[in-house]
Homo-oligomer: A and B are copies of this chain.
């Protein structure tokens, strides 16, 4: 059971990289090189991010991608939604054409609680959060 798939993971990394370049336009080629992630896969991911309005794209020579939103408006939960769909832990048992077995239903409550917990932990996490974290860590290392 994975909380984040590779898509999401790479999206986070790509966005982080772009964010740290302060408005420079970044090509997939550069991202791929710097992050050591397959060019074509990254390409697809960036296309999706663009379609979803998280980055905007500039075509042609000198083109590339920039953030379409400030880092504190880019939420991890949105990335998860985009690449993995809504978080629904109980799809299997509960939505399964009306679970034919009443004795499992106590689990629904538990699962709802877990779902809420996941969301409440992840809700405050934005691209900015992740970047700040990095700065803090870097700072600590220099002390």
Contact = CB atoms under 8 A, between A and B. Distances in A.
B93 A36 contact: no
Interface string A102-143: 111111001101100110011001000111011001000000
Contacts of A100: 36
Nearest to A12: B104
A1 B84 contact: yes
Given A101-B35, A121-B113, A121-B114, A106 B89 contact: no
Contacts of A30: none
Interface string A22-42: 000000000000011000000
A36 B88 CA distance: 25
A48 to B, nearest CB: 19
Contacts of A102: 134, 137
A93 B9 contact: yes
A16 interface: yes
Interface of A: 1-6, 9, 12-13, 16, 35-36, 76, 84, 87-93, 100-107, 110-111, 113-114, 117-118, 121-122, 125, 129-131, 133-134, 137
10 contacts: A1-B1, A1-B84, A1-B88, A3-B89, A3-B92, A4-B92, A5-B92, A76-B107, A106-B133, A114-B118
